[in-house]
Structure 1
Amino acid sequence: MEVDHSGEIGVGDAGPEPEPEPPEAAPSPAAAAALEHQQPWREQLTVRGLVAAALIGSMYTVIVMKLNLTTGFVPTMNVSAALLAFLALRGWTAALARLGIRSSAARPFTRQENTVVQTCAVACYSLGLCGFGSFMLGLNRRTYEAAGVNTPGNVPGSVKEPGVGWITGFLVASSFGGLLTLVPLRKVLVIDYKLTYPSGTATAVLINGFHTPQGDKNAEKQVRSFLKYFGISFLWSFFQWFYTGGSVCGFAHFPTFGLQAWKQSFFFDFSMTYVGAGMICPHLVNLSTLLGAMLSWGILWPLISKRKGDWYPADVPESSMTSLYGYKSFLCIALIMGDGIYHFVKVLGITAQSMHERSKLRRSNSRVADLDKAAAIDELRRDEVFNRDSIPAWLAYGGYALMSVVAVVTIPMMFRQVRWYYVVVAYALAPVLGFSNSYGAGLTDINMGYSYGKLALFVLAAWAGREDGVVAGLVGCGLVKELVLISADLMHDFKTAHLTLTSPRSMLAAQAVGTAIGCVVTPLTFLLFYRAFDVGDPDGYWKAPYALIYRNMALLGAQGFSALPRHCLPLSVGFFALAVLANVARDILPPRYGRFVPLPTAMAVPFLVGASFAVDMVVGTVV
């Protein structure tokens, strides 16, 4: 599932408790970093760092793609990327020191270089989250057939098989524009508005903690744990391989709760991948998936199946969109859309309220309190470093204009259904949407890029009409999503740079290099999975459920409610309302009760992928 999992609101950075004599107080991480030699921004970009980032980014691209094409549920891995960056370069410098090598390759490893490597690696694998399991796969023939060849609006011309050429071109045309969308506003969002960007702040705190004497000890413990559980997972997967004789054979299909439960996909498939994902995700997410599995596979699907011949045709395969699978798909969409629209409106409201309050109080409290002098000095030092290596505005404006022209020319050539003015509108609105999204992400840590993409999907599908609506909606969704998503991610990275005293120029360069690597590695990784496995099989392991979900949303936008099976619309409205009410209840109830309200999007995931995924996640919670 293409979801941002860093939805916890973190705390902003705060200086240490001031002492009567600040010069003798223990320095904060930022103050300690200031004592290091401040390298020019070019020296923060090292060959060893870029090589490490390419390797880490490529490895995580494989992991992200595998998760995307199975359940679509991808937890955030930025923290582990920062840890691996630290381990790789600290190990490199330690090895050279043991060999007695004294050269530029053996220079000290700083927190600035660590930040650059982590940013580059994350930029590389983040492209794997930009639609490979949803809109891109939704264009292929298999998804077209799964949606029903006789479904109104699902025309034969709305098919485009994945290929290295057009996927790489699309990524280049859309992702680099997202990098430049908000570069001129970085100072406003990070320094002037002092937005917390909790994910960026958490990454900075982690990196600052690594580069202390105690950080080395903690890193050693983390390395031992990492190697231990990596070995266990690898050996278990190797052991499982010996006992797999077919598609429904082996430990992956062990009837843990009995054969009847197994037929409804309730079993533990011994997948270490999703047990690990369950250990990363909050308990509420995991329990919400289990509740969704019980509601769908335990109650709804068996009951609807008994209405075969009444609620859907008896002579149509259950995998058809006019059959049982249509109920599965659209009820899942209803939960996701209800959750997404609620948070979309909520974040817009929070953003508008915050900006209104900020405009009233802009100059009401400009003095720095003497009691917080040490923290103020740290903050001024961070601001100085952040402003020193400024990025020329002409570079951002000129680059964005250039990428707009490239996209306007190339994207209609790739997809004849996408008119050039659709792309112009997307690029014209991207800075406005990107600023709103980045401001909201700075306040709440919720990146609404996926919601903006879904909104674009419905608008463009309806605008293009029945014949061209599916392709125009899916491609427009991917374009807007990448532009808005990447710009918000860059602001998180700028916040990390601000707190680790890293040059914004080196961060932008690292993002650009990581994006360029991702534009090559990600399509190749995707096609490796696509050609080696049966991707898109609703009854197999590689379900890729969001491909069909996104195509159905495009059909809904192009055709209207006539694409729904009988009785599906009332049920969809009910589940949409359920998602909204669940969010309202979580916000209005006291925190001690609201934290138990399930998450609608997490509930929706098992509707299509099966209950075994939820069982794995709950096992991760127990562990």
Structure 2
Amino acid sequence: MYEDVPEFTLRAVLLGLAIGCLICFTNLSLGLQSGWISMMSIQSALIGFLISRTLPIPLTPQEIIVVQTTAVATGTMPLAAGFVGILPALTLLDETRDGSSPIHMTWIAAVGWSCSVAFFGVFLSPPIRKQVIIEEELPFPSGTATAHLISVLHQLPPPESNIRQRHTYHHVQDEEENTLAEEIVEDMVDETPEEDEHEREMVEHEGWHDLIWSFAASGSLTLAAFFYPFLFAIPLFGNYLAKEWLWYFTPSLSYVGQGVIMGFPTTLSMNLGMFVGWAILSPLSKWSGWAPGAVGDMSNGARGWILWISLGIMCADSVVSLLPVAWEYFQDVMKPFQRGYTSIGENGEQLKNNETETPDRLVPNSWVAVGLLLSISIGTFLVWIVFGNEGIKPWATLLGFILGGMLSIIGVRALGETDLNPVSGLGKISQLFFAWIQPGNIVANIIAGGVAEAGAQQAGDLMQDLKTGHLCHASPRAQFFGQLIGSSVSILVTTTAYTLYNRAYVIPGPSFPAPTAYVWLSLARLLRDGQLPENSATFMIAFSVLFGSLSALKTYTAKREHWIAKWIPSGVAFAIGFLNTPSFSIARLIGGVMEYVYRTRYAKDKGDIRLVVIASGFVLGEGVVSIVSLILRTLGVGVASCFGCGHGLCGGCPAASGM
């Protein structure tokens, strides 16, 4: 019956591209500001549905899935191609220290680099889907939540799934966050048909109103802050703390919206890290003479000193949280070699026949084989063209693709089980590997690590969409086409946006500090020369051991669905509090508190979906208006007044240009 339903249509693809381009600009801006981006699959489905209701013939549920699949593929390119981390890191190279001059890519070079990594993960997805979605039936909470949302909005029966929910598990990835999914799944699974109908009517009738006012409020505040930068750099704790210790407040509604999406436990972990890093360790390193430079200096200041503790926490947390997934994967690989193993399932069915789709709706294996071969070979060639032999050898790039394929399996399994795609940890594993096979070459270390990370990140993000499609009976082939088109268009959109940002702003700089760029470069430098700032190694080891233990405890309690797991601090979220100045974390905590209060006191009456709509408007409003600000800055339009910017922290004001 589903074969006759419209799925891969021109209007679905165009709508997905339009939403994806907005998300792409938003993610690029937010990623360069804080190192955080979002798939926004739930938001894409919501916005697609709202727009669909204005059309003469509304989109079918399967078309909505193509919309959100295309939007996700388009919107996540800033992370997949390294525009928020790897490319800014290459501009920070120092010839004396690193043996290579800074690399500033032209538009055409950035397009070539993006093409080299844009499609590898797309072609990895179909064969991995067969294993993790069809055979193992991993839950993929965000993909399952999106499927339930689409079913509610279209008055369909709830999707059949064996959701192994992690109701108490919350985690943040420094580039990507999906932690709202589990609450949405839990709420929707328990709803009655009458509640489903109420939810659908609420979203349809009130959704546009909520989205428009939240979008307008966030956009207006962002535009006002362009002309009056003081609005986004309020010295809430006094001018002294703002100027000398970077304690100021950015009342960005986008950050508030991100906090809503992240959830209270995650934002609380982030702010605990912010307090420890910026209120304790930063003054300690400054007053002890370990970081004699200005507090905000990433080379010899307190911010650069606490970066290493953050790096240690992220590595320890990522590795420990990956161990159970890697162990389970190893056990699955070894099962066919164990005595007494059978491929017969519990109910007597053959596992290899679990596929529910007909061959004409699947992606043929021949397409996958040819696509992987072409994406790897062309990608290796393009990387060689862009960076040359001195940057990275072709054989090293080829190894990066192979390593990326292996790491993507681990990443996808982790995502399927916990809703966390640990690309940060996987990227660091790849850096360690390439420091061993090509020692001393920082450029090769960063690039090859980026190639490996891109495949793992893209395959994982697209797997969430395939889970949604599987539960809602959408064609995997239609989603595959949407992913290819979205990734192709996003190459030009992301590259153009990044080039414009580079022309209008200093990156990294006051407006766009690109914190993850320093993480990539710092680890590459450490692996090259082994030098750490004074006394940072001691704190790095201590915090790594602490959060490695907490990560193990969190994983153990989460598997047993114990309530305490939710409140054990997330190591990666804690580390993000170190990376970003307090202004980025405080506003997100406000959003987290809003989410907690709304969910615990008002959600029974109005549902969680309304808050998701409002948060989406906040995030998209700033992202879209940032395009306007970018155009104004490119045209030479400056700020209207620098009133209140005496602390020198206002982006765009002359007083901040020297930072």
What TM-score does the superposition give when structure 1 sets the normalisation length?
Answer: 0.81
| Aligned partners of 1:383 and 1:498 also within 8 Å | no
**Equivalent residue for 2:433?**
459
In structure 1, C-alpha distance between the alignment counterparts of 2:130 and 2:314, rounded to whole Å: 34
Q: In the alignment, is residue 228 of structure 1 matched against residue 213 of structure 2? A: yes
Structure 1 position 158, deviation (Å):
4.5
Q: In the alignment, is residue 349 of structure 1 matched against residue 324 of structure 2? A: no
Equivalent residue of 2:53, what SS?
Answer: helix
| Aligned partners of 1:158 and 1:470 also within 8 Å | no
C-alpha distance 587-217 of structure 1, shift in aligned 2 (>3 A): closer
**Equivalent residue for 2:90?**
139
In structure 1, C-alpha distance between the alignment counterparts of 2:146 and 2:304, rounded to whole Å: 42
Letter in 2 for 1:125: G
In structure 1, C-alpha distance between the alignment counterparts of 2:460 and 2:205, rounded to whole Å: 33
Partner deviation per Cα, 1:97-130 (whole Å, 9 max, x = no partner)? xxxxxxxxx5x52111111111011100111122
Q: Tell me which moved more, 188-197 or 476-485.
A: 188-197
Structure 1 residue corresponding to 2:148, chosen from 205, 216, 227: 205
**Equivalent residue for 1:80?**
43
| Aligned partners of 1:350 and 1:440 also within 8 Å | no
**Equivalent residue for 1:413?**
385
C-alpha distance 203-261 of structure 1, shift in aligned 2 (>3 A): same
Structure 2, gaps ≥5 residues long: 157-196, 595-659
Structure 2 residue corresponding to 1:595, chosen from 553, 566, 574: 566
**Equivalent residue for 1:99?**
none
Structure 2 residue corresponding to 1:110, chosen from 57, 60, 66: 60
**Equivalent residue for 1:608?**
579
Structure 1 position 450, deviation (Å):
3.1
**Equivalent residue for 2:222?**
237
Seq. identity, %: 24
**Equivalent residue for 1:163?**
106
Equivalent residue of 2:357, what SS?
Answer: helix
Structure 1 position 428, deviation (Å):
3.1
**Equivalent residue for 2:362?**
390
| Aligned partners of 2:314 and 2:425 also within 8 Å | no
In structure 2, C-alpha distance between the alignment counterparts of 1:386 and 1:188, rounded to whole Å: 17
Structure 1 position 88, deviation (Å):
2.2
Structure 1 vs Structure 2 CA RMSD:
2.6
C-alpha distance 240-524 of structure 1, shift in aligned 2 (>3 A): closer
In structure 2, C-alpha distance between the alignment counterparts of 1:427 and 1:240, rounded to whole Å: 42
Letter in 2 for 1:223: W
Structure 2 residue corresponding to 1:440, chosen from 414, 421, 424: 414
1:484-503 to structure 2, matched below 5 A, reads: 484-503=456-475
In structure 2, C-alpha distance between the alignment counterparts of 1:210 and 1:362, rounded to whole Å: 38
Partner deviation per Cα, 1:239-276 (whole Å, 9 max, x = no partner)? 445544xxxxx232222233444343333321111111
1:146-157 to structure 2, matched below 5 A, reads: 150-151=96-97, 154-155=98-99, 157=100
1:557-568 to structure 2, matched below 5 A, reads: 557-559=527-529, 561=530, 563-568=531-536
In structure 2, C-alpha distance between the alignment counterparts of 1:400 and 1:343, rounded to whole Å: 29
In structure 2, C-alpha distance between the alignment counterparts of 1:481 and 1:610, rounded to whole Å: 26
In structure 2, C-alpha distance between the alignment counterparts of 1:605 and 1:430, rounded to whole Å: 24
C-alpha distance 432-76 of structure 1, shift in aligned 2 (>3 A): closer
Structure 1 position 338, deviation (Å):
1.3
In structure 2, C-alpha distance between the alignment counterparts of 1:613 and 1:430, rounded to whole Å: 31
Q: Tell me which moved more, 109-118 or 415-424.
A: 415-424
Equivalent residue of 1:91, what SS?
Answer: coil
**Equivalent residue for 1:186?**
129
C-alpha distance 471-66 of structure 1, shift in aligned 2 (>3 A): same
| Aligned partners of 1:137 and 1:162 also within 8 Å | no
In structure 2, C-alpha distance between the alignment counterparts of 1:452 and 1:242, rounded to whole Å: 41
Structure 1 position 534, deviation (Å):
2.2
In structure 1, C-alpha distance between the alignment counterparts of 2:570 and 2:224, rounded to whole Å: 35
| Aligned partners of 1:251 and 1:270 also within 8 Å | yes
Equivalent residue of 1:365, what SS?
Answer: coil
Structure 1 residue corresponding to 2:537, chosen from 551, 557, 569: 569
Structure 2 residue corresponding to 1:617, chosen from 588, 591, 608: 588
**Equivalent residue for 2:520?**
550
Structure 1 position 385, deviation (Å):
3.5
Give the aligned length. 539
C-alpha distance 569-396 of structure 1, shift in aligned 2 (>3 A): same
Equivalent residue of 1:415, what SS?
Answer: helix
C-alpha distance 319-239 of structure 1, shift in aligned 2 (>3 A): closer
In structure 1, C-alpha distance between the alignment counterparts of 2:568 and 2:315, rounded to whole Å: 18
In structure 1, C-alpha distance between the alignment counterparts of 2:376 and 2:269, rounded to whole Å: 41
**Equivalent residue for 2:285?**
304
Q: Which has the larger radius of gyration?
A: 1
**Equivalent residue for 1:450?**
424
In structure 2, C-alpha distance between the alignment counterparts of 1:344 and 1:123, rounded to whole Å: 25
C-alpha distance 110-451 of structure 1, shift in aligned 2 (>3 A): same
